[in-house]
């Protein structure tokens, strides 16, 4: 089947959306941009292909009346097992890379002990991390680097002490290896991995209403559907790195405008807070950009600001919003300079202010800046859509709703749970239109 | 405006002539110890070159030196040197490049030290920084200073009272100061002769600027424009050299039109004209070529710009008039772009977008230039409203390389060009 792919190469994450000829979304994929856009774009595309395959399986299973109710569960199990397979493969790659880097001559005197320590660490990691793919477990991140990194640190520290090798050597080996592993383009045989995962799932279900073989064949058939990359459009900061001709590249402003229009056709103003820039975009009734404004010279008040604050506070990026939601008091953070915000943060902490209250103030500081960009682009006159990674942060959303109401009254505010894919969605639609035209 | 030396860059004959003129001028400036000529330092907007030449004095323009240093990638160190001396990060970077250059021996592009000025001739035309800049220079050089105070066109008109005020100062302050420093007696006929040269060059200059109304435009009126304004905005206005330069330039452009060619770029003739833009604000000098490339690579040509009017708004009708020599100098100063109010600037931009059939207005807002930047966003919105054409806003700096972020500028420009294209397609499909 013909597929149209949009890839949004952001400064923090790379997103891909796959679309069919009718403009229906088949799959979405996301990965960290890892300063290597070639790999990031391949990985995100592969993720989109995986999610498209799952979607096709879901469609096929749901079409069988007896399977209709079970389809969701089956798919969930299939995805979990499939992810686990992929994850374990990558973990194995990381282990081999670590062993290879550990065998470096610099460590010749402790070579054997290092290998032993690494193998032991990875054994423990495997059992720890496999648990993350059990039913109902919520993962803090879907990125290999995040999941592997946190567990490696705790396990390696314990193992280092038990075996008697320096912990910092283990860290150095890991730091070097994770980059190599992460930047190796995916070389999986997806279909084979899918089928292995399917076998596991089938093994867990002995009460299927139809013959397991029939399900296997059905999944086989969907796996055999060729997903043809009919047209790919790239957008985002890394777009120039894509091995595409110029006509396959669109500015992210246009893509976000069109993506927001597809999600909410009545949208006239789009705010996108990404990693490095904040964009205020005005669009018409066809999703065509009529005006835009972006942050100038400096990325204060962008998504990366929150990343910095999370690092400063030694907490996860995903934890910022929930903590800030617990605020009971308004604290003013005046600086939108990212680095100065760190100083303000420590100053407020020293004055005895609560973390939640300070974080709420920081979220407000970001949103205030976004509001200024929106007003420069022409303000909010009608339906408003908020997109980008920061749209997932409930505390930022709360402040935004408040400030939009204060400035522009009661306007409809749209926030899609998949808003991070808005740019990639617009790009996929540009790809579809390029062929249709 | 000196051209950075680079043998690979393609140049028209007029550019080579200009390069030679500028080199000769720097040689003259750095050779005063032998010739005994006196130097007057002054600024481009409101410069009184025809008058200065009546006293056999040479004209040195600090902004042009800063631009030169910017284009030759030397300004960054100078700006930082000035900051080390205590000048704030937000101060005009022309000023800091100048002050930094002074502390590094004030070396001219020909490698010789620039002599101290004998007179600081401040023609104050709307830029407040000019006054502070010369205050700093006076402190440094301790030389004669003369200030011509030109009233701001706050109401958008030049009244007789304003004109009289400037004329009175030229007669009572400026001419006596020039006589005193040079020891030469003022001769009004010499001034008339210089002004006659000016007017001739100005006619051809305006013809060149207006050639951008052609499709495709044979010139780029911003990136190319800064070369075209070179002689007339600097030490050559009022000379026969400038007259010949503009004659040559005009015939080159006539040739381009006849051949249906687009503008010359450092990489040869621009191929396809895809976007026609009006630009407000000075260019960035430290990454001039890189900045220009972002336009011509995408087929974007600037058909009109306000920056090419900072040394005189000739295309709106003003010409130096030899029959009223002092009054014409007053009118020239009063009408400078920097001395015009926001609504005059908006009118001008609107006129350019319409008359040059532009696709939109791009503002290059300069971080360290409050004089230009204040009100620019309002101007953009007003021009958008009046013309129905989209505007865009980018931010760079004059000669501080730290404020040129190529990736960001390119990102915004590409978005703008694609937005224009998308709107065009949408208008076509609606038709």
Strand order in the sheet with B144-149: B58-60, B39-41, B119-124, B144-149
Please tell me which residue, A204 or B138, carries the higher pLDDT value: B138
pLDDT in tens, B256-278: 999 999 999 999 999 899 999 99
**Structure token digits, residue A393:** 């942060």
Place of tokens 């004998």: B118
d(Cα B37, Cα B44) in Å, to the nearest integer?
21
Instruction: Return the pLDDT at A335.
Output: 63
Closest partner residue to A290 among B390, B408, B415, by Cβ? B390
Write out the DSSP string of A397-435: HHHHHHHHHHHH-S--EE--TTGGGHHHHHHHHHHHHHH
Q: Are A22 and A246 in contact (CB under 8 A)?
A: no
- Which residue in the set B390, B391, B414 is minimally distant from A251, CB to CB? B414
Which of left, alpha, beta for B25 (phi over 0: left; psi -120 to 50: alpha)?
alpha
> Which of B377, B405, B415 is nearest residue A292 as measured by Cβ atoms?
B415
Number of Cβ pairs closer than 8 Å across A and B? 47
Quote the pLDDT of residue B425. 86
Interchain CB contact of B402 with A (< 8 Å): no
Q: Which helix (H) or strand (E) holds A9?
A: strand A2-9
DSSP-derived letter for residue A225 is S
DSSP string, B255-290: HHHHTT---EETTEE-----EEEEEESPPPSTTHHH
Within 8 A of A286 by CB-CB distance, chain B residues are 426
Backbone angles phi, psi at A280, to 5 degrees: -110, 120
Helix or strand (DSSP H, E) at A386 = strand A383-387
- Write down the pLDDT at residue B8: 61
What is the reported pLDDT for B4? Answer: 47
Residues of chain A with pLDDT under 70: 240-243, 297-300, 335-336, 437
Q: Which of B422, B423, B424, B426 is best to mutate for the A interface (most A CBs within 10 A)?
A: B422
User: Which residues of A are less than 8 Å from B418 in CB distance?
Assistant: 250-251, 253-254
CATH class of B13-188: alpha beta
Which residue from B412, B414, B422 is facing A294, i.e. has the nearest CB? B412
CB contact under 8 A, B415 and A376: no
B391 contacts in chain A (CB < 8 Å)? 291
The yes-or-no verdict on residue B173 having pLDDT over 60 is yes
> Rounded to whole angstroms, what are the CA distances from A44 to A28, A49, A147, B251, B306?
8, 9, 17, 56, 46
Q: Note the pLDDT of residue B408.
A: 86
Interchain contact, B423 vs A237, CB within 8 Å? no
Residue B142 is predicted with a pLDDT of 93
Residue of B390, B415, B426 with shortest CB distance to A251: B415
Q: Are B13-188 and B262-430 in the same CATH fold?
A: yes
> Which tokens belong to A394?
């409930």
> What is the pLDDT at residue B1?
45
A-proximal residues of B, 360-399, CB under 8 Å: 367, 377, 381, 384, 390-393, 395
Does the ipTM surpass 0.85?
no
Residues of A in contact with B423 (CB under 8 A): 288-290
Asked if A286's CB is within 8 angstroms of B415's CB, the reply is no
Closest CA to A421 of A392, A380, A384: A392
Q: Domain map of chain B by residue range?
A: 13-188, 262-430
CA of A402: how far to CAs of A322, A329, A380, B86, B409, in Å?
Answer: 17, 15, 14, 43, 32
Where do the structural domains in chain A lie, given as residue ranges? 83-182, 267-415
Taking CB atoms and an 8 Å cutoff, what residues of chain A touch B419? 251, 253-254, 289-290, 292
**Answer CATH for B262-430 from 3.90.190.20, 3.40.50.740, 3.40.50.12280, 3.40.50.11900:** 3.40.50.11900
Question: Which residue of chain A comes nearest to B424, CA vs CA?
Answer: A288
Give Cβ neighbours of residue A242 (< 8 Å, ≥ 6 apart): A7, A9, A37, A38, A41, A234, A248, A249
pLDDT of the residue at B396: 93
Looking at the complex, does the CB of residue B293 fall below 8 Å from at least one CB of chain A?
A: no
Cα(B415)–Cα(A254) distance, integer angstroms: 7
Question: Does residue B263 sit at the A interface (CB-CB below 8 Å)?
Answer: no
pTM confidence score: 0.83
Is cis: bond before B216, omega within 30 of 0? yes
Q: Which of chain A's residues have a Cβ under 8 Å away from the Cβ of B89?
A: none
Closest Cβ opposite residue B419 in set A253, A286, A296:
A253
pLDDT of B40-82, one tens digit each? Answer: 999 999 999 999 999 999 999 998 988 988 998 999 999 999 9
> B92 near B75, Cβ under 8 Å?
no
pLDDT at B285 over 50: yes
What is the helix (H) or strand (E) element at residue A235, kind and residue range? strand A228-235
Residues in A touching B415 (Cβ below 8 Å): 251-254, 289, 292
CATH label, A267-415, candidates 3.10.180.10, 3.40.640.10, 3.90.1010.20, 3.30.420.40: 3.30.420.40
Q: List the structure tokens of A280.
A: 């205020």
- pLDDT for res B2: 45
Give the model confidence (pLDDT) of B377-414 as tens digits.
999 999 999 999 999 999 999 999 988 988 889 989 99
A368 and A333 Cβ atoms separated by less than 8 Å: no
B7, pLDDT greater than 80: no
CA distance B390 to chain A (A): 7
Q: Which residues of chain B make contact with A297, given a CB cutoff of 8 A?
A: 367, 395, 403, 405, 408
Q: What percent of chain B has pLDDT over 70?
A: 98
Most B CBs within 10 A among A287, A294, A302, A376, hence the mutation to make, goes to A294
Q: What does the pLDDT read at residue B426? A: 83
Give the model confidence (pLDDT) of B99-137 as tens digits: 999 888 889 989 999 999 999 999 999 888 999 999 999
Q: Residue B21, exposed/middle/buried by CB under 10 A (0-12, 13-18, 19+)?
A: buried
């Amino acid at each position: 089947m013909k597929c149209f792919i949009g890839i949004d190469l952001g400064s923090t994450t790379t997103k891909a959306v796959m679309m069919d000829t009718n403009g229906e979304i088949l799959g979405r994929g996301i990965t960290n941009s890892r300063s290597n856009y070639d790999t990031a774009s391949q990985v995100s595309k592969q993720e989109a292909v995986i999610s498209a395959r799952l979607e096709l399986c879901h469609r096929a299973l749901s079409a069988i009346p007896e399977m209709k109710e079970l389809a969701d569960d089956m798919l969930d199990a299939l995805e979990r097992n499939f992810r686990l397979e992929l994850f374990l493969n990558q973990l194995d790659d990381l282990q081999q890379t670590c062993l290879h880097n550990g065998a470096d001559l610099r460590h010749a005197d402790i070579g054997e002990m290092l290998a032993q320590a690494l193998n032991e660490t990875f054994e423990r990691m495997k059992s720890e991390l496999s648990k993350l793919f059990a039913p109902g477990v919520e993962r803090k991140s879907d990125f290999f680097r995040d999941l592997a990194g946190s567990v490696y640190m705790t396990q390696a520290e314990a193992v280092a002490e038990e075996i008697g090798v320096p912990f910092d050597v283990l860290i150095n080996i890991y730091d070097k290896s994770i980059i190599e592993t992460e930047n190796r383009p995916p070389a999986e045989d997806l279909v084979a991995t899918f089928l292995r995962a399917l076998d596991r799932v089938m093994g867990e279900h002995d009460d299927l209403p139809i013959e397991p073989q029939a399900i296997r064949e059905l999944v086989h058939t969907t796996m055999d559907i060729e997903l043809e990359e009919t047209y790919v459009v790239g957008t985002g900061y890394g777009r120039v790195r894509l091995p595409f001709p110029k006509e396959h590249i669109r500015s992210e402003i246009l893509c976000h405008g069109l993506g927001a229009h597809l999600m909410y056709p009545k949208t006239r103003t789009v705010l996108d807070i990404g990693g490095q820039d904040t964009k205020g975009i005005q669009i018409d009734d066809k999703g065509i950009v009529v005006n835009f404004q972006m942050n100038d010279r400096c990325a204060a008040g962008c998504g990366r600001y929150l990343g910095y604050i999370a690092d400063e506070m030694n907490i996860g990026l995903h934890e910022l919003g929930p903590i800030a939601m617990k605020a009971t008091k308004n604290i003013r953070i005046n600086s939108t300079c990212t680095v100065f915000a760190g100083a303000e943060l420590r100053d407020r902490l020293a004055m005895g202010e609560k973390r939640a209250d300070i974080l709420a103030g920081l979220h407000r500081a970001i949103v205030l800046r976004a509001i200024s960009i929106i007003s420069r682009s022409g303000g909010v006159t009608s339906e408003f859509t908020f997109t980008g990674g920061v749209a997932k942060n409930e505390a930022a959303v709360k402040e935004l709703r408040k400030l939009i109401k204060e400035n522009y009254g009661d306007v409809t505010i749209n926030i899609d749970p998949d808003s991070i894919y808005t740019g990639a969605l617009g790009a996929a639609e540009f790809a579809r239109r390029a062929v249709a035209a | 405006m000196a051209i950075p030396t680079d043998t690979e860059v393609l140049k028209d004959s007029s550019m080579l002539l200009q390069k030679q003129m500028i080199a000769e001028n720097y040689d003259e400036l750095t050779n005063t110890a032998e010739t005994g000529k006196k130097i007057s330092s002054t600024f481009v907007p409101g410069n009184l070159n025809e008058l200065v030449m009546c006293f056999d004095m040479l004209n040195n323009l600090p902004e042009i030196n800063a631009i030169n240093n910017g284009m030759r990638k030397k300004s960054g160190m100078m700006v930082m040197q000035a900051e080390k001396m205590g000048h704030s990060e937000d101060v005009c970077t022309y000023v800091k490049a100048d002050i930094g250059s002074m502390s590094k021996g004030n070396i001219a592009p020909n490698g010789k030290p620039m002599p101290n000025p004998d007179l600081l001739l401040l023609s104050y035309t709307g830029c407040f920084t000019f006054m502070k800049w010369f205050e700093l220079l006076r402190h440094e050089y301790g030389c004669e200073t003369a200030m011509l105070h030109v009233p701001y066109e706050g109401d958008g008109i030049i009244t007789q009272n304003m004109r009289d005020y400037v004329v009175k100062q030229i007669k009572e302050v400026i001419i006596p100061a020039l006589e005193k420093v040079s020891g030469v007696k003022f001769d009004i006929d010499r001034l008339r002769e210089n002004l006659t040269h000016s007017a001739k060059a100005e006619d051809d200059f305006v013809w060149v600027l207006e050639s951008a109304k052609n499709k495709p435009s044979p010139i780029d009126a911003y990136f190319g424009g800064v070369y075209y304004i070179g002689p007339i905005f600097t030490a050559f206005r009022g000379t026969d050299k400038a007259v010949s330069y503009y004659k040559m330039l005009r015939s080159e452009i006539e040739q381009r039109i006849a051949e249906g060619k687009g503008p010359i770029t450092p990489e040869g003739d621009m191929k396809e004209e895809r976007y026609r833009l009006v630009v407000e604000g000075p260019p960035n000098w430290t990454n001039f070529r890189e900045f220009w490339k972002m336009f011509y690579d995408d087929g974007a040509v600037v058909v009109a710009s306000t920056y090419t009017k900072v040394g005189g708004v000739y295309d709106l009708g003003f010409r130096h008039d030899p029959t009223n020599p002092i009054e014409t100098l007053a009118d020239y100063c009063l009408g400078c772009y920097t001395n015009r109010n926001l609504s005059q600037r908006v009118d001008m931009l609107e006129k350019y977008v319409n008359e040059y059939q532009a696709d939109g207005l791009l503002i290059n807002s300069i971080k360290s230039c409050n004089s230009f930047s204040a009100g620019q966003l309002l101007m953009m919105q007003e021009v958008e409203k009046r013309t129905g054409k989209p505007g865009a806003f980018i931010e760079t700096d004059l000669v501080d390389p730290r404020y040129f972020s190529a990736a960001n500028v390119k990102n915004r420009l590409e978005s703008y060009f694609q937005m224009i294209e998308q709107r065009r397609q949408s208008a076509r499909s609606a038709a």
